Amino acid sequence: MILSIDYGLILIMQISIFENEDISLYIWRFISFNDYKKFANVSKCFAKLYKNTSFNDMLISKYYELNNIINFCNFSIKHIAKVSKYHNDPQFMRILLKDYVEKYNLEDYIKSKKFIIIYDVLEIMMHGINRNFGRILKKINKCKKMYSGIVLNDKAYIQIMQLLINIGCGDFLCENRRNILKSYCNNTETITKIALTSLIFIMVDEVKISASKKKLIEMRTNKGNEFIKYIKYSNLKLVCPKYFLRRIEKIYK
């Protein structure tokens, strides 16, 4: 006996399944980072879930898929490179992973699930080494708006700040750590450090923790004033465009 298949009925059943919010939500939890957009085109429910899913939530999904901070950093660099059309194997990456990410304790930071911060650090660095002033400013402005809504416990905050500060300071104050940007020319290194310093200041200004940040804010204010003087009286105008330095100066204040 040959059974006839009603493909129209099957299609209706598939649509009905995907338009069920409870089923769609369950399926959404198991979708990989690379497939979010594809599923968003399947049904209105998936489209709505995609619209309401933050980029950090997508990064959380990717981290648990990879289950390793080193793998997550490698993924992030490749994703940033693809979006921005950069080379996806930057020279700084090997030192960053071996001398910094592997050696620093990031356990509490990882538990916080705020993977967007380390993703932003990598994106800022990629824009810096590519001297993409416009994208640096765009990213900094985005971070300034977004980080006001981030709350970290004190240990997680200290861990990610320690990593970020040591990446930005190069080999100065970093015991047994190689300068991440040593393979780049002085101007590229300067541009990248300016961008990283901006992110550090935003972390101090915007991210909320339970402990007092009074001393940290005082240090940030003093350093900000030093950097503003440096911007005005150094030869940075030969390295960076004026519009870039003006915007950076506002963040440093």
25 and 144 in one domain? no
Domain total of the chain: 2
Quick check: is 132 in a domain? yes
Residues 94 and 163 placed together within one structural domain of the fold? yes
pLDDT tens by residue, 145-176:
999 999 999 999 999 999 999 887 755 545 55
Q: Are residues 146 and 232 in the same domain?
A: yes
Instruction: Sort 195 into a burial class: Cβ within 10 Å, 0-12 / 13-18 / 19+.
Output: buried
- The residues facing 208 across adjacent strands are 151
Residues 79 and 29 in one domain: no
106 and 222 share a domain?
yes
Which pTM value belongs to this model?
0.83
Strand (E) or helix (H) holding 104? none
Q: Which residue is it, tokens 């911007």?
A: 231
The answer to whether residues 132 and 214 belong to one domain is yes
Which residues are CB-neighbours of 202 under 8 A, at least 6 positions away? Answer: 140, 143, 144, 147, 251
Residue 45's domain comprises 1-53
Amino acid at 112: S
Q: How far apart are CA 70 and CA 97, in angstroms?
A: 7
In tens, the pLDDT along 78-125 reads 999 999 999 999 999 999 999 999 989 999 999 999 999 999 999 999
Look-up of token digits 């660095």: 125
State whether 156 and 245 are in the same domain: yes
